[in-house]
Chain A
């Protein structure tokens, strides 16, 4: 079988594993459910579909993309490196390609399910509005696609350069969580100091969030944005920049990471891990 087909099979098996394990199912459902809860609670009007519900849902969708891409993907790579999965794949012909295909399928599917849950769950339960015109649907699609393409390969880059220590992963996660608070996903960017706003504007979340808002909110809401406009051109070019950087770097760094995996480095880490748990 060719690596592509094997990769799809791998992805399908791993997706099925979520459905098999109640714990996994809760883990994957919790993020969209929390965002739905936040949107319900923040609307104040309790589910009558006000503008704040809409704003929160847009923030939730953008944050989901950001979290999957730049937090979950690095975590997957980190875990698969640590437990020897990547080393196993290295010894099997074609398995590394299959792994990447499988993980991509897995991440895209779980992401899509979360977004669908937020979008339609919001509409059904919180009476939030879906995009109102074909134009807005189109905007939603290109923002989501470009947003995902901007964060997933970059997440793979991060995952392949993180040093193999739990502390490194935790240290990386902290600023990522911080970014969620300063990117305008839940609190208006306008209220933030210009310096913080500029910092957030370097990262994709700010742009994904603004793009999703432009698809879910009426056009008049752009008056609430920093520059009184949706900045579609800026969004598209920033996200495309991240995407290009990710697609350029990811294959090299993934290859380098795989090359560095060896049995002795694995057992060394394993011994360190056991030494730690012994205390």
Chain B
């Protein structure tokens, strides 16, 4: 398994244990099992993306981990503690960015961030953080007057102000324009690389998961059906690479294969030299995801 763990001065025992360890997590609403024996392990300082169709239990999983929901069964340890205990010292080590927030609309942006910084022992400098998320110009504006994307960035800043060891992001880039999304991705990479923050995010955006995540988990009807790096997922899904070239007759050709290297070598033999317009495309997360979850589910995903 290839997980890039950033350089750190000391890796003590506490940091070697996983940030999140879940086994046999069950969640029952009425007579329906929303989570049905979920197993999950998230390492320290990794960015883990949770994917899955709507209703698969992503939000429920995150809420159990955040200590917002009491589980019906199973073992859960987050930063070495059971989130159901909801202990303030443990809370202070966790940052949460929720899907939809309109709270504290009357508060000014800087005033709000500054206030929430005071609840933590080692907060980030609010003014610096505001600059980092690109809201310095809006510091004196009231939160209610922010645009959708600006409000999301304020939510992210509020989630980060306590310098959390573990950050939960529930569909963080919904409503971001491409530039805001790029900036946000840079922020996440910086968190992971410079602060060794563990990040768990749910997303609908497969490209985003592919670009950011060290490991990806796919949640389907209450179970984690696949989990690993992009390569591992592709291998598990037997997703094929695509090889394209131009045939001797000038017509474009296309081949799907699990072993593109072999295919290209054979083409070389065939052509006795360079292959015109050769293109090899590795399976994307989308190919893999669709191979696993099925195209029918993806249509509900998009809606």
Interface set of A (CB-CB < 8 Å, partner B): 1, 6, 9-10, 13-14, 17, 21, 24, 80, 83-85, 87-88, 90-95, 98, 261-264, 266-267, 270
Contact = CB atoms under 8 A, between A and B. Distances in A.
Given A93-B88, A93-B92, A262 B106 contact: no
B30 to A, nearest CB: 15
A83 B91 contact: no
B119 A264 contact: no
A92 B92 CA distance: 7
A257 to B, nearest CB: 13
B120 interface: yes
B211 to A, nearest CB: 24
A17 B106 contact: yes
A87 B158 CA distance: 13
B102 A262 contact: no
A88 B103 contact: yes
25 contacts: A6-B119, A13-B107, A13-B111, A17-B107, A21-B106, A80-B103, A83-B102, A84-B98, A84-B101, A87-B98, A87-B101, A90-B68, A91-B68, A92-B116, A92-B162, A93-B89, A93-B91, A93-B120, A262-B69, A263-B68, A266-B98, A266-B100, A266-B101, A267-B59, A267-B98
B102 A1 contact: no
A225 to B, nearest CB: 43
Contact of A93 (B99, B119, B170): B119
B118 A1 contact: yes
Contacts of B89: 93
Nearest to A264: B59
4 closest A-B pairs by beta carbon, nearest first, are A93-B88, A85-B103, A91-B96, A93-B91
Overall SS of chain A's interface:
helix
A1 B100 contact: no
A83 B143 CA distance: 12
Contacts of A21: 106
A180 B66 CA distance: 44
Contacts of A10: 115
Given A84-B98, A270-B100, A262 B119 contact: no
A95 B103 CA distance: 14
Nearest to B171: A267
Given A9-B115, A93-B91, A85 B100 contact: no
Interface string B45-86: 000000000000001101100101100000000000000000
Given A80-B103, A85-B104, A263 B98 contact: yes
A17 B105 CA distance: 11
Contacts of B88: 93-94
B100 A84 contact: yes
Given A93-B92, A94-B119, A263 B105 contact: no
Nearest to B111: A13
Given A85-B103, A261-B68, A263-B68, A91 B94 contact: yes
B91 A1 contact: no
A12 B181 CA distance: 36
Contacts of A93: 88-89, 91-92, 119-120
B99 A263 contact: yes
A10 B105 CA distance: 14
B120 to A, nearest CB: 7
Given A6-B119, A13-B115, A264-B60, A84 B107 contact: no
A18 to B, nearest CB: 9
Nearest to B121: A93
B109 to A, nearest CB: 13
A87 to B, nearest CB: 7
Contacts of A95: 116, 119
Contacts of B119: 1, 6, 92-95, 98
B60 A88 contact: no
A6 B120 CA distance: 11
A214 B33 CA distance: 62
Contacts of A264: 59-60, 63
Interface centre among A1, A87, A263 (most CB of B within 10 A): A263
Contacts of B91: 91-93
Contacts of A270: 100, 102
A80 B59 CA distance: 22
